[in-house]
Structures are given as C-alpha cells and as structure tokens.
Amino acid sequence: MMATPLVVSEVAKSFVMHLRGGLTLPVVEDVSFALTAGRCAVLGGPSGAGKSSILKMLYGNYGVDSGQIIVQHRGALVDLARAAPRVVLSVRRETIGYVSQFLRTVPRVTALDVVAEPLTAAGVDRDEARERAAALLARLNLPKTLWSLPPATFSGGEQQRINIARGFITRHPILLLDEPTASLDAMNRQVVIDLIAEKKQAGVALLGIFHDQDVREAVADTIVDVTRFAPKRVAA
C-alpha cells in the first residue's frame, strides 16, 4: 500500500445560486493536502469554513470546480474530481468509506441490514455480513431489541451509532468521518475513539471533522487548517 492513498491538489469549489440571481458563493480554493496510511488527519477551522464541503468533494457527493483529487483505487490512480459516476461508485464500494452525520433511512430495512449492506454490496455472504454487523452494534451498545427494527424512529444517538457501524464495518483503506461523535455519550465516544485507533493500526488513512475537543485530541495525528483555503477574492 502506498503511503499517501489520497492526494488533494489545488481544489476549488463554489456554489452558484441560480435561484438567487446567479449569486456565486465561493467556498474554498487552492485546497491541497494528502492523507497518510495509518494516520488520522482532522479538518480544523470554524463553522462555515468549508470542512464538510471538502469531505463531500472527496466522496464525490459535491462537484469540484477545478483541481485534482487523486486516489489509489484498484491498483491505479483515479481523479475523483473528474471520474465518471460508475467509477465514483466503485471507489465508494472498495476504497473510500464515509460516516455521515445523519442517517438516511430506507423504509422497512432493519438496523442490522443497514449496517451489513456495505459488506453484502462488496460480495460478502449475507450471514457473515450480519454477524459482523451484530458484533459492531453490540460494541457500540445498541440494544439488541433494536437490531431487527428499521431505524427511522430511533433517537439521534442511536441512528448515529448505526451510521458509525455502517462506516466502520468495511475494510476501506480510506475513511471519511463527518462528526461521528456529535450526539454520543462519553461511553460511546470512547468506543469510537477505540475504533479509530484500530483503523489506524490496520493502515487505514482517516480524515475527520470533530467538534468535540477531547475526541479530536485523542485521534488527531495532524490538523489540516481549512482557513488556509479561504477564497481570496469574492466573486461577483
């Protein structure tokens, strides 16, 4: 495995609000940094500095105006800033995992299957996937009575733990974390800190946003200061 599985160079992003008369909102420019295998980088900076937008561009969820996001995928280099949708999907299946802040629930799919899904999508046998999902949910202290229910009606903290389990269950070499501990109690925050440490041990490159200072100090190897990427000129 290469030491820097993901390299971001000179990425710029702005939103053009057509419903506001074409108003352009520059978000970030000249974003450049790299992720290192076995280390956790943390995006630092105040709210609105573009931390979430950077994470979303790296996952292909937001478009990129210019620059490159080079990721090592299936033994080749892919530029996510320009990759075709099916290449992005393949990168998500095998290379880049993502723990979002909010769970998007699907009607009738149980918590256990929501967690197991990334594994079955990658071709793991359904029973084995469910077993691994159960182990992770137990570790995150989600009551067993909830496993067979669809998570739509769960509390924020319960949904977040489903999301964390879903993100951590795979062996993606890169993992993006968007405030994974925001609505967790101290005990479960510690579980997440442990899970991140295990990912590092396994050589995974992590990039996260953590508002909780204790968590940030416990997991961060480097801080990427997002205020460095503030747009210099305000577009018309």
Partner 1 sequence: MSSPADTRPDDQPLLRVSSVSKSYGARTGCTDVSFELWPGEVLAVVGESGSGKTTLLNCISSRLLPTSGSVSYRMRDGSWRELYRMSEAERRFLMRTDWGFVHQNPADGLRMTVSAGANVGERLMAIGDRHYGNIRSTAIDWLGRVEIGSDRIDDEPRAFSGGMRQRLQIARNLVTSPRLVFMDEPTGGLDVSVQARLLDLLRGLVADLGLAAIVVTHDLAVARLLSHRMMVMKDGRVIETGLTDRVLDDPREAYTQLLVSSILQV
Give the residue carrying structure tokens 């992720």. Answer: 35
Could you give phi then psi for residue 179, rounded to 5 degrees?
45, 60
Candidates 83-91, 158-166, 173-181, 200-208 — which segment interacts with partner 1 by CB under 8 A? 83-91
Residue 86's H or E segment, with its range, is: helix 85-94
Could you give phi then psi for residue 27, rounded to 5 degrees?
-105, -60
Report d(CA 35, CA 205) in Å as an integer.
6
Candidates 1-9, 86-94, 133-141, 198-206 — which segment interacts with partner 1 by CB under 8 A? 86-94
Residue 106's H or E segment, with its range, is: none
Report d(CA 192, CA 212) in Å as an integer.
12
Least distance between partner 1 and beta carbon 213 (Å): 29
Give the residue carrying structure tokens 């995974």. Answer: 204
Using DSSP, state whether 191 is helix, strand or coil. helix
17 binds partner 1 (CB under 8 A): yes
Least distance between partner 1 and beta carbon 71 (Å): 10
Which listed residue (87, 124, 193, 230) binds partner 1 by CB under 8 A? 87
Least distance between partner 1 and beta carbon 210 (Å): 22
Residue 224's H or E segment, with its range, is: strand 222-225
Nearer to partner 1, 18 or 232 (CB): 18
Site map for partner 1, 100-119, x if CB under 8 A?
------xxxx----------
Candidates 37-45, 82-90, 133-141, 170-178 — which segment interacts with partner 1 by CB under 8 A? 82-90
Report d(CA 20, CA 93) in Å as an integer.
36
Query: Could you say which residues in the range 49-78 bind partner 1, by CB under 8 A?
Result: 56, 60-63, 70, 73-78
β-sheet bridge partners, residue 78: 71
Nearer to partner 1, 85 or 143 (CB): 85
For partner 1, the binding residues (CB under 8 A) are 15-19, 56, 60-63, 70, 73-79, 83, 85-90, 106-109, 121
